[in-house]
Amino acid sequence: MTEASLISRFDALLADLDGVVYAGPQAIPGAVESLQQLAGLGIGLGYVTNNASRTPAQVAAHLRELGAPAADEQVVSSSQAAAELLASELPPGSRVLITGSPALAEEIELVGLVPVYSQDENPVAVVQGFNPAIGWKELAEASYVVAAGTLWVATNTDMSIPQARGIAPGNGTLVAAVTAATGQTPRVAGKPEAPLFHSAAKRLGAERPLVVGDRLDTDILGGNNAGFATVAVLTGVDTRQTILAARAAERPDYIISSLTDLYRPYPEVTHDDGTYVCGEATARVANGAVGIIGSQDNLDSWRAACAAWWAATPDASAAKAPQLAWLDH
């Protein structure tokens, strides 16, 4: 009997987009084919994105252009998560001040709440999402309402947003302006908070979802916060080195090179008297350093090293890279 693949342990995959499915306008090699295989195995697929300025339909259309399977309802955005969060706390028909895009207002309407744009319309909550057209007047209206102690939800708090001409201020900077004016902080629906992931799992009816992402501070932290299994993929931001150094809250359950690894058996890590073994690699912590017997090019070496270092630093509140001592077989 052949060993089961990693993905066979789960009933759904919740995938990040940039760095997992595509890099810029191009699909990452093997990603589209890996996503296409899920349906044949009866495994659900959802996409989770912090982007609150594009509608889920626009995101899905982009994915379909790349060849990835993507119905509109498979994309769960931070705008939708924010709307669901508000709907769970407010009676139907409640007025919500919109500090964001028309796409955000649409999501608020879809959950039975009423978008308004001024303190004079007596909103009982504020929802804030990215919109490049937001100016001082909109931030002032939000500040007036938030200062009164009203429920305030932010779609996400990404401080920067990549643009064609460079890095620009993201929604987090606009949220920070309201925080600076009021001394209040919002509840956050998007990554790395749990609501976005819970919304996606609920939509798919998934009980055992696997969250895949390339960033520890949003995808992996968010999946961990949601109580789901997490897998870091090495096709985007984070690397073997940064994953090894990760603080406890941002450590993934699995590490893979690309999405094609989802269809391979995942090697078990065993340990005996402080020595951690993965495949043919072993790792052991001594004097704050990790000694590894194995090849630096083999991911099993890094899986063993992570297991050893994380066991030695189970409560790390900040990222810390150990010294590495490599010994070939």
Q: Known catalytic residue: 272?
A: no
Distance set, CA 324 to CA 196, 269, 287 (Å): 37, 19, 11
Within 8 A by CB and 6+ apart from 239, the residues are none
Q: Structure tokens of 114?
A: 């009423």
Taking only Cα atoms into account, the Rg of the chain, rounded to an integer number of angstroms, comes to: 22
The 8-class DSSP code of residue 144 comes to H
* Start-to-end CA span in the chain (Å): 30
Q: Three-state SS for 244?
A: helix
With beta carbons less than 8 A apart as the criterion, state whether 43 and 12 touch. yes
Among residues 18, 217, 238, 300, the one annotated as catalytic is 18
With beta carbons less than 8 A apart as the criterion, state whether 219 and 197 touch. no
Query: Strand locations in 30-94, DSSP E?
Result: 44-49, 75-77
In the chain, the amino acid numbered 40 is G
Q: Known catalytic residue: 16?
A: yes
In the chain, the amino acid numbered 205 is G
Among residues 11, 16, 219, 300, the one annotated as catalytic is 16
Give alpha helix (H) positions in 148-277.
171-182, 195-204, 221-225, 240-244
Query: Strand locations in 140-197, DSSP E?
Result: 151-154, 160-163, 166-169, 187-188
Classify burial at 21, counting beta carbons within 10 Å of its beta carbon; exposed 0-12, middle 13-18, buried 19 or more.
buried
Residue numbers annotated as active site: 16, 18
